[in-house]
Structure 1
Amino acid sequence: MPYTAQLAERKMLDNEVDKTASVVLNNWKQQIKIKKKLMEHTKKHEALFHQVESENSKESVTEKEKQKLLNKLKKSAAVLTKTDDNYYQENLNGQSARLKWESVLENCYKNIQDLEKERIQILSHILTLYNQHVSSYGQTLNAYQSQIDQAIKSIDVEKDIQTFMEETTIFTEDNKSEFLLLDYYEEDNSAIMDQNRRINSINEKLTRLQNDIEKAKKDREGVEKMLRAYRENPAFSDVRNEEETAVVLDETNLKINLFEANYFKLSLALAELEKRNLPTHPCSERMTKWKEKGCQLCSVQVSRSINTTKLVRSPSSRMSTRSYESSHLLSNDYVDSDYINYPSKPPRGEEHNYGKCRVLYPYKPQRKDELGLEKDDCILIHRKDDCGWWYGALNGKKGYFPATYVEEINSNSCPP
């Protein structure tokens, strides 16, 4: 791809990220705007409710006036319910907008990596062609050609790409996403409201959240069954299907966590009103409350580890043939990594001695059945797999190691 075309594609990717980020910010502002409106309607409705109760107790008030006040109260209740539904839906839209922004950002990051890898490979190809061209000039250019040849032989495209990825990575193992939680008039103890009505209103909202939690958990069970089917029957799926299903599972887990955070927040307010023991939840340490323009707000931070290896479209066998590492369980605050079931490698079968090899590059094991490598280590080879991962022994320990990180040597060249 020409350099100008790469610039145009980068600009298009940047614009897409900016566009989705703008949607997230606008939703954030819209939530605050609707929340203020809901607070104001609730306050007016409560005042009207108390007025109706007061007027009904007076004998001087006619039935017509009482009916007029009741009609006014019904209209106020309808407006309040509609505003509450809008506020709840806008909060759900905020979750979806945030997830879409993260997906677009991840895709942009992946595509830019592809462009950089393509650029590096093209430069390497140009140098190779130049080297061949210079070699044809004959003996007069042999001295210069030799220098160029040595420089080209030292080029390692895979290593350069790996270095670029490590230096430009934007994700960490503890990437946090912040979401606005629902804030209601009923949770504010300083607000004027009858206690029984306050409790009943909170219970209604808790019921709605509980129904959404149960529905999301059923959705999660369905996605997990689909993912297990993909793993148990590889012939019916491919890597892309598994990754897309894993993304859906991650989003469902996140949705459940946010529903539970909102449920815990309302349960806390209800326990304070009923003077019961306060409930506990892991998310309480990551919840933040603050005031903005006179409005009480609350957010929660959810840790979401992103596996950067799945972002790399590398033809290298060590990237594409490793077993799927349960990327759908992106470590959030409510998932225990001890329960992740990693798929096992192929059976070892009978072990043979295929000679020895020397380590060219250090390698840090990613799983328990892999060997940790240091440069110049000597490994006894027991089996060679076509997938690019060999099985051998090093310092009395047996395990898998990447074949592209070693070179085979004469058995006598390596100490026992």
Structure 2
Amino acid sequence: MTSSSTAYIDKPTFDELLKYTKQNADICKEMVAVLQERSDLELSYQKALSKLSVRANKINPTTGGTFLNAWKTLSKQFEQEAQSHKTISIAIVNDAIKPMKKLMEQRAKERKSADAPVDKAIKAVTDRKNDVFKAQKNLLSKTKEFESTAAGSEATKNNKGKELSQKERSKLSTKHGKTSEAINKADREYFKAVKTAEQTRFQRIITMNQTAFALQNSESAYMEEIKKIIIKFVDVLGQIIPLIRGNYDAMKNGFASVTCATDVQNAIVKGNQATPEEQVLYDCFEDDMNISLSQRHRQYHLQRKLEMLDNVVNNVQKEQKSSGGKSVDKLPPNYSYLETIQDRDMTNLWNASRFRLVCALASVNSKPKPSNPVATYIRSEKDRSGGVKSFLNIPRDQKGQATLTVSTTSASGMTVDLSVENTKVQPVAAPQNPAPPSANPIPAAAAVAAAAPPAPAPPPAAQTNTQNTPFDEDGDDWDDEPDSGEKYVALYDFEPAGEGELALKAGDSVLVTQKDDDGWWNGTVNGITGQFPESYVKKADGL
């Protein structure tokens, strides 16, 4: 290959070289724009990763465990990777973009100073060409003038055919001589212009070759520097690979050490150590002393509900005994370990509910409230309507078993064994043979030995209590009967003890108009309407 210092450079070749250098300048300008965008992308990615790291750090369940620890490592690596991308963004600017811009500015100045001599030489060639054309035109004009004077100097007559005088012929000869000198001068000037134009053209070739040589060397050096900058840019990108690899390895190793089964088991253990799920107790309105009820009415209902709870517990125990101690409710396969938990929970639920009723009954009877360890774990609250809701919160061990077995509390206020039979409230029994009742019905708890059936606690007569209760949810009593009524016969005499109660004589015909579950019915005798105990009447024969 011919050396660039001896190779001939003509105008087309020089123009191609200029085109190449200009193209390089445009390419480098576009490359700077691309590098700047890459730097901006790294910075944007850094901001996005930092934002993602903050969000990842907010995932912080209280259960903890190896999975959460691995996740914390991952979110930490997000932030570290973000900082790596920020470092790369800054490095691209400092190590690639800024040096390239500086080099491009320097190169633009070099090209401008190199182009000036060539531009000047090209202009000079154009000017010398114009001088040649001007001298050539002048020579042509002088030649025509010479030919015209030559014809005149040889003529003997003028245009009219008259002979020319000696003086006229001498004058024409002198003029012809002058045109001859003018043509010789014009010819010399033309020759000189052609020679100068050629010299100028060749000087332009010399200038182009000198400039081209300088451009080749400087352009090669310039592009070599650009190449080094791009290589450095690639090296900068390569620096993030080990950094990110370290981040990825840390994240992978963190999750590789996760033991999911252990985490789940630890969560279960922690859950068992926390406050257990509340059991909703059986509440009745009679143990809420804020609800206005007569003492007899409250006693009667509390005793009836104690009997009901006794029967519930008795039935549960009987069913458990008949099933060999297994849970009454069927459990899914492989969950037999829940049987003892369910049995104890159910026992605690009913006995804790019973304890509340016994305490309420003791208050009604003006007796000391019984003691029971379960009292510590009972929580009561009122809803917006004023109703009481009670909950049982007994702690559990790691196996889910309640740490306390609630004993049955007797109606006398003693804490006794869990045996329901020992603490069961005796139901009220009706007499086998009619006998006159007492004037004032006695409470059901003391009516076991009474000859006549006790009258249940009557609801207060003409009471204007607007608060609905469980037995009066809609503002009306339960089990309303049609106004026509049913015919009954009085078994005993009943002496009214309160306003609104109806007097009965044995044998009276009673038209029962309403039956309530509280043991008191409404009826009419001889046109008088009132309330009376249901146990004092029987249905008339034939009806």
| TM-score by shorter chain over 0.5 | no
| TM-score (norm. length: structure 2) | 0.25
Name the structure with the higher strand share.
1
User: Larger Cα Rg: Structure 1 or Structure 2?
Assistant: 2
Please report the TM-score for the alignment, with normalisation by the length of structure 1. Answer: 0.32
